[in-house]
Amino acid sequence: MMVQPAYQHEKKTNNKFQVPPVRNLFIITTDGFRWQEVFNGADSLLINDEKYTPDAATIKLQLWDSSPEERRKKLMPFFWNVIAAKGEIYGNRQFQNKVNVDNAYSISYPGYNEIFTGNTDIAISSNAKNPDPNVSILEYLNNKESFKGKVVAFTSWDVFPFILTKNRSQLPMNAGYEHISDSTLTSEQKLINKVQDDVVNEKSSTRFDELTFLTAKEYISKHQPRVVFLGLGETDEFAHKGRYDLYLQHASEVDRMIEELWHYVQTTPGYKDNTTFIITTDHGRGSKTSKWTDHGTFISGSSQTWLAIMGPGIDPLGEVKDKEQLYQVQIAQTIAGLLGEEFISRESVAPTISLR
């Protein structure tokens, strides 16, 4: 059963894609990272509350400034010095520029289902490890001859093999504390496997993001896939634990990983000037100080997200301040359009985002 998509009531969507296609696309998500920190940097109430920030003095030396513009640069320097200069950033609700989830639940599995399938399925209402019956844009691309074996996913959360239906889609994928599987392992891949064995916590469903990143980067340098999904998860983990200091520090680490990945593609033949990055999150969090650790149907702010895009043909508009409403369910068709494809599924697919 499908819900009536909110995006159908919006006018600023279309099925035509005007940006020239690129050969490669990287989709990067950082789980449950709020738009408030993206656009304003550290929250003054949370960073000064020792319940959430035990050593406020140190973290403020690193990340605090009276100006929101300076705070966000301290938190995410690559995002605000490079992506803002070369790409487009959506979701600053202070300018009525909004990005939202379209599902009613505002939790991870429904959010990722929307991002990758382009539809909102009311039956996907929890994070249970049940295979997604809907076809994702990654599976769709992997079934096309020109992309076969060149679409890969590396994720910290171990639920993604179900979200992306690994058994059916046959996507090359590495999730959670899963060993790297390759025809021949490099010395670096062997070392990553060993480190994972040494640090693995059987109770944790989310791998350390740094290990996910290193696993992905080593595979990318070895195989040069065309479409990469990198799903990071520790921003959500630290938020649920109520550690605002670690939530902020990890957001800075995510920014550093994106910078390192962008530098790699821009210095590697085949990727250089022919690769687009889409960066987003799966859901928001509570907008009130007492609710920021959580998210869900009844927590205000949970449906509010953000989106950044950078690559050839993308206008360097930086922070988009026009009044408009976008939905994350539109990302799947946007992924297809950026690669010069159209995503056709047995279910309805939301139209592409009208990029500038």
Q: Which residue has the tokens 């010095």?
A: 81
pLDDT for residue 195 is more than 50: yes
Q: What is the pLDDT of residues 327-343, one digit of tens each?
A: 999 999 999 999 999 99
Within a 10 A sphere around the Cβ of 135, how many other Cβ atoms? Answer: 23
In Å, how far from its chain's centre is CA 264?
A: 19
H/E stretch holding 153: strand 151-155
Instruction: Enter the DSSP assignment of 121.
Output: B
Instruction: Report CA 77 to chain centroid distance, whole Å.
Output: 18
The tens digit of pLDDT for each residue in 259-317 reads 999 999 999 999 999 999 999 999 999 999 999 999 999 999 999 999 999 999 999 99
Higher-pLDDT residue of 1 and 151 is 151
Mean pLDDT of 346-354: 93
- Please name which of 96, 99, 88 lies closest in space to residue 319, comparing C-alpha atoms: 88
Looking at residue 141, its pLDDT comes to 98
Going from the N-terminus, what domains does the chain have, and what CATH number goes with each? 6-353 (3.40.720.10)
DSSP H or E segment with residue 188: helix 187-199
pLDDT number for residue 9 = 38
What are the pLDDT digits (tens) for 57-72? 999 999 999 999 999 9
Distance CA 285, CA 107 (A): 9
Is residue 143 scored above 90 in pLDDT?
yes
Average pLDDT, the chain: 93
204-263 tens-digit pLDDT: 899 999 999 999 999 999 999 999 999 999 999 999 999 999 999 999 999 999 999 999
